Structure 1
Amino acid sequence: MNNNKWIGLAALALAMALPFSQPVVATEFADTLDTPALHSDLAAQGPLTGMASAGERLVVVGQRGHILYSDDAGRRWQQAEVPVSSDLVAVHFPSARQGWAVGHDGVVLHSSDAGASWSRQLDGRQVGPRMREYYQALAAAEPQNEAIATLVTEAQRMTEEGADKPFLDVWFRNEQVGYVVGAFNLIFRTDDGGRSWTPWMDRTENPNALNLYGLRAVGDDLFIVGEQGLVLKLDAASGRFKAVVTPYNGSYFGVIGKPGVTLVYGLRGNLYRSPDSGASWNRVDVGLPVSITAATVDPAGRIILLSQAGHVLVSTDDGASFVARPQVQLAPVSAALATRGSLVLAGPRGVRTLPIE
């Protein structure tokens, strides 16, 4: 359900709750794409979904366009200036100052000052028209290509439906080259730091247009994961994301790893490990019945997994096995980063830190 419909339902509920003798005053609808994020003293305690490091700074993103940054390993947070109030999902910094954030309404934001302020580079109003223009040009050059013709139709549908398709992850190789991925096989690439974006839906082996949930590099390999066991790997020679077969057909939410080992994780505690860049996979039993929703590698090289319920699992053998960290109180985790001496977690209840030994 898109944000506009949520707002409509909330307004209806409010009207029904008011006494019938009291008139209801209509207020003008404010599109989240045209409404800057409001500053709130409670922003660090609200729902937050993505986290990244910008040099020594930490940056988190979440609902209503909230972006916060911390220069003291998560103890104190300041709120950034953000031009939209759309829900944000993910953030990535390829360098200390240049970063990108993505979220609902097809939003792509850029920061050049380590996350203190942001500008909009792309949104859902532009996604459909840009797809249509790009694939119409390809269709004119290849009139017999049925796959391109299908993408023209899809682009037209997205244009008519408007800005309701989310981007769910973002990753940049450097300050110029990056990708954003999202619902229904949405994927765009930039080669100029986000000044222009090119659709790449024709470059994925994803014929059913499955949702793309996660995007990360492990060593020199770039992986995308999604629903129904989808794993894609960029083939540099062809410039295409090719399908990688794994033993699981449920949703994967993310990718983590180190040079020489790749892990994909997701629904109901499923975790698979590849020692050979995705050529083969083995299941790692972590003993969890709940979904794995975040992962990080700490400065010592340990791989750390976090669950939907807040479990913390630590591996000291490059992901071959994991040990649960004892915890007194659990809370859901959406994103995590390991700093020296602490684990910074973000989730529905805001940000918090845990000591790590």
Structure 2
Amino acid sequence: MNKFRWIVLIALGAALALPFTRAVVAADFADTLDRPALQTDKALHGTFTGLASAGRRLVAVGQRGHIFYSDDAGLQWHQAKVPVSSDLVAVHFPSPSQGWAVGHDGVVLHSSDAGESWSRQFDGRDVGSTLLAYYRKQAAARPDDEAVVTSLADAQRMFEEGADKPFLDVWFQNDQVGYIVGAFNLIFRTDNGGRNWTPWLDRTDNPSALNLYALRPAGNELFVVGEQGLVLKFDPTSERFKATPTPYNGSFFGIVGKPGAVLVFGLRGNAYRSVDGGANWNKVELGLPLSITAGTVTADGRIILLSQAGHVLVSNDDGASFNLQVNNGLAPVAAAQVSTAGALVLAGTRGLRQLPLE
């Protein structure tokens, strides 16, 4: 099951678990992009899909626009003020104070106070109009370019469809330069801290417009992964994300790495490792048939992978091999971070929890 579908099913399951109520009349309807996240302690026990470190602080994002932060390594959590109630998927802080979160409805949120409060910078309503303006300009300059004409038609379609395309990951190089990626090859770049976003769909080797699930660096190299074995590597010379073929044609959900080693992981326990910047990939035998949905690196350099059921796999040799850690409290995991106390903090369908590392 791919990450996009998994997130959708989580949301659907939560909705079906609610007591049946009478339908709200149209006059009471408020778009999730215009309705602030509900402030409630119950949200802490809901579904969370993204985790990040903001200096010593941990920040978690999840369903219905809920964002929580912790200053004691995940023991206690406080709810942030969020202007939307769209489901959030991923979060990243390039510095202790500046952070970005993305999710469904094409929403992009920004925080300048280490995650305590958030403002909306971009959303799905902006995606279509931004794409349309960009490709109209391209078509005016190159009216005979078939690729541009096709891109313009796609932009028109996205504009008409509205805010229904999710962003699935975000990463910032610093407080000014960053990227967001999502469904159907959506990728945008900012050079001014998110005040403006530029489409980069024509800068990826992704002609089938496959979903882009994650982007993360390994050392000084930036990778994107997606459906059907898609792995892209950023080439700073051409400013393109170029394909780096792998032996696997199933979905990759994430990237984890360190200088000299990068791993991509995904469906049915498949993980592949490269020690030459993505030129060659070798399968890592995990001995686990479940999808791998999260990964992180400890302060002492151990690489951690986690399954959709919550299994913890630890590598002490830069990802060449992994050992399964004993974990009796298995629960679905979507994201993980190592706290300043050295424990794993996990986000998933059962909220936020700590797990000691052996």
Task: Tell me which residue corresponds to 2:85.
Answer: 85
C-alpha distance after superposition, 1:297-327 (max 9, x if no partner):
0111100000000000000000000000011
In the aligned structure 1, how far is the partner of 2:357 from the partner of 2:284?
23
Q: Deviations over 1:200-236 (max 9, x none)?
A: 0010010000000000011111100000000001111
1 CA distance for matches of 2:175 and 2:351? Answer: 29
Match of 1:354 in 2: 355
The 2-side partners of 1:27 and 1:153 are apart by 34
Partner of 1:250: 250
1:329 Cα deviation (Å)? 2.1
Aligned to 1:229: 229
How many angstroms apart in 2 are the aligned matches of 1:26 and 1:335? 36
Q: Name the counterpart of 1:100.
A: 100
Point out where structure 1 has 5 or more consecutive residues left out of the alignment. 17-23
Partners of 1:355 and 1:41 lie apart in 2 by 25
Aligned-residue offset at 1:40: 1.1
Mean Cα deviation higher: 25-34 or 55-64: 25-34
2:238 is matched with 238
Output the TM-score relative to the length of structure 1.
Answer: 0.94
Task: Tell me the distance in 2 between the aligned counterparts of 1:296 and 1:88.
Answer: 20
Equivalent residue for 1:149? Answer: 149
What is the rounded CA distance, in whole Å, between the counterparts of 1:343 and 1:284 in structure 2? 22
Q: Identity, % of aligned pairs?
A: 68
What's the offset of the Cα at 1:143? 1.4
1:128 alignment partner in structure 2: 128
Distance of aligned partners of 1:95 and 1:26 in 2 relative to their CA distance in 1, 3 Å threshold? closer
SS in 1 for 2:83: coil
Instruction: Tell me the residue number matched to 1:310.
Output: 310
Deviation at 1:126, TM superposition (A): 0.7
Report the secondary structure of 2:134's partner residue.
Answer: helix
1:112-191 pair list within 5 angstroms: 112-191=112-191
Alignment-derived partner of residue 62 in structure 2 = 62
* Deviation for aligned residue 1:356: 1.4
Deviation at 1:27, TM superposition (A): 5.3
Look up the SS of the partner of 1:138 in the other structure. helix
Residue 331 of structure 2 is matched in structure 1 by 331
- Quick one: which amino acid aligns to residue 252 of structure 1? F
Q: Secondary structure of 1:33's partner?
A: coil
**Please, what TM-score do these two structures have when normalized by structure 2?**
0.93
Q: 1:56 to 1:185 in 2, by over 3 A?
A: same
Higher CA-based Rg: 1
Amino acid of the structure 1 residue aligned with 2:120: R
SS at match of 1:144: coil
- SS of 1:148's partner is helix
- The aligned counterpart of 1:21 is none
CA distance in 2, matches of 1:190, 1:311: 36
Q: Which residue of 2 aligns with 1:342?
A: 343
Question: Which consecutive residues of structure 2, in runs of 5 or more, have no partner in the other structure?
Answer: none
- Matches of 1:249 and 1:125 in 2, distance apart? 33
For residues 124-173 of structure 1, the C-alpha deviation after alignment (integer angstroms, 9 at most, x for no partner) is 00100100001110111111221111111111001100000000000000
Report the Cα distance in structure 1 between the residues aligned to 2:22 and 2:326, rounded to whole angstroms.
47
SS at match of 1:150: helix
CA deviations 1:255-285 (Å, max 9, x no partner) are 0001000100000000000000000000001
**Letter in structure 2 aligned against 1:352:** R
Q: Tell me the alpha carbon deviations over residues 73-93 of structure 1, each in whole angstroms, 9 at most, x when there is no partner.
A: 000000000000000000000
CA distance in 1, matches of 2:26, 2:172: 44
Instruction: Tell me the amino acid that sits aligned with residue 343 of structure 2.
Output: S
User: For the aligned residues, what is the CA RMSD?
Assistant: 1.9
Secondary structure, aligned partner of 1:249: coil
Give how far 1:14 is off: 3.9
Rounded to whole Å, the distance in 2 between the matches of 1:65 and 1:145 is 41
- Give 2:49's aligned residue: 49
Which residue of structure 1 lines up, in the alignment, with residue 262 of structure 2?
A: 262
Distance 2:328 2:204 in 1: 44
Segments ≥4 residues shifted beyond 2 Å? 13-16, 24-27
